[in-house]
Amino acid sequence: MKVFVLICVVLSILVSFSHAQSRRVPLGTGTDKPNRRPVTPKATPTPPDQEIQADTGAVDSGEVVEVDTNLVTIPVRILDRKNRFIGGLPRDSFKVFEDNVEQEIAYFTNESQPFTVALVLDMSPSTTFKVSEIQTAAISFIDQLRPEDRVMVISFDEEVHMLCEATNDRNTIYRAIRSTRISNGTSLYEAVGKTMNDRLRRIQGRKAIVLFTDGVDTTSLRANDLGNLRDAMEIDALIYPIRYDTFADVQAMKNRPIVDLPGPGAIMRTPPTIPTSGTNYPTSIPQGPVVRTGNDKGTTIEEYRHAEQYLDKLATSTGGT
């Protein structure tokens, strides 16, 4: 239920996303100056200080100067006093100020424009007992999109798998989601990086990433969390992490190692939950004989805390909150 409510919040923000796009402004044009020698053979020399000033201030009238303006994307969600969504507001309903100075709204879009959404699904061992929940949540999300909205489906374990290119064919999307299977490794940072840079960066219009994961990375070699955060602020896309708390499941699997990962059709039994004290993380772990798997990477409380911070920063830096 908690995940469903979060998905509904994501949808309410998607339909109210407004953003700006950059543009270049060419300055005045003119005719080229003819390249001819001076008629007078001996011109009066220009003092050095005046010559430098003239050189730095001159702009050939035949050149076109391009100026990159700094524009900021601002996603907007409007609610009334009863926390109900308000849509369909025109451009002149908005004013933007910076340091008490009104700024130009260079470009304005509303919820009527189609969205391109990248669903990124975590299929690493830590989500073994969350697979069905992730698939169901992803399909429920798709069912609430508009027919013209396009969706791509990407999953990741140690590798990143492109399961479905951007399409509005719902059957193709459903098949891609249901085809996901658990495998070894967790290259979360590479999955997020490839989704942003290899897929969404070349897509025009409104776009977003909905990321179903616990946020823990164990095997990324070509990407890292800081690189993801830097790229996220440049790509002009909203990122909505749907975080699954798998800490208790991972501890149970670590203490009772699984020899083989479940294949298609396997019946999985949820491991016992470790007691908590009103937090997302256990305050103590039961004592007794413990059998280790030989690799504790991705299982510590510090890594899970870092994972939560990473996902929060992805969301806040892109407006996906």
Which of 40-44, 216-220, 278-282, 316-320 is most confident? 216-220
2-11, 155-164, 312-321, range with the lowest pLDDT: 2-11
Structure token pair of residue 299: 């299982």
Split at pLDDT 50, 70, 90, the class of 109 is confident
Q: Across residues 260-268, what is the average pLDDT?
A: 45
* Higher per-residue pLDDT: 80 or 273: 80
Q: How far apart are CA 299 and CA 301, in angstroms?
A: 7
What angle separates helix 131-143 from helix 2-14, to the nearest 10 degrees? 30
* Residues 107/19, Cβ–Cβ less than 8 Å: yes
Instruction: Compute the mean pLDDT over every residue in the chain, rounded to the nearest whole number.
Output: 76
**The pLDDT value given to residue 9:** 54
Q: How far apart are CA 118 and CA 181, in angstroms?
A: 18
Split at pLDDT 50, 70, 90, the class of 113 is confident
**The pLDDT value given to residue 1:** 54
Q: Across residues 129-142, what is the average pLDDT?
A: 96
DSSP 91-135: GGG--EEETTEEE-------TTS-EEEEEEEE-SGGGGGGHHHHH
Arch. (CATH architecture) of 2-11+112-281+299-318 = 3-Layer(aba) Sandwich (3.40)
Tell me whether residue 166 is exposed, middle or buried, using C-beta atoms within 10 angstroms of its C-beta: 0 to 12, 13 to 18, 19 or more: middle
The closest of 188, 139, 186, 148 to 169, measured between CA atoms, is 148
Return the CA Rg of the chain.
Answer: 27
Q: Across residues 173-199, what is the average pLDDT?
A: 98
* pLDDT over 50 (residue 254): yes
Domain boundaries, the chain: 2-11+112-281+299-318
pTM over 0.85: no
pLDDT tens track for 198-250: 999 999 888 999 999 999 999 999 999 999 999 999 988 999 999 999 999 99
* Higher per-residue pLDDT: 111 or 53: 111
* Higher per-residue pLDDT: 64 or 49: 64
* pLDDT over 70 (residue 258): no
Split at pLDDT 50, 70, 90, the class of 40 is very low
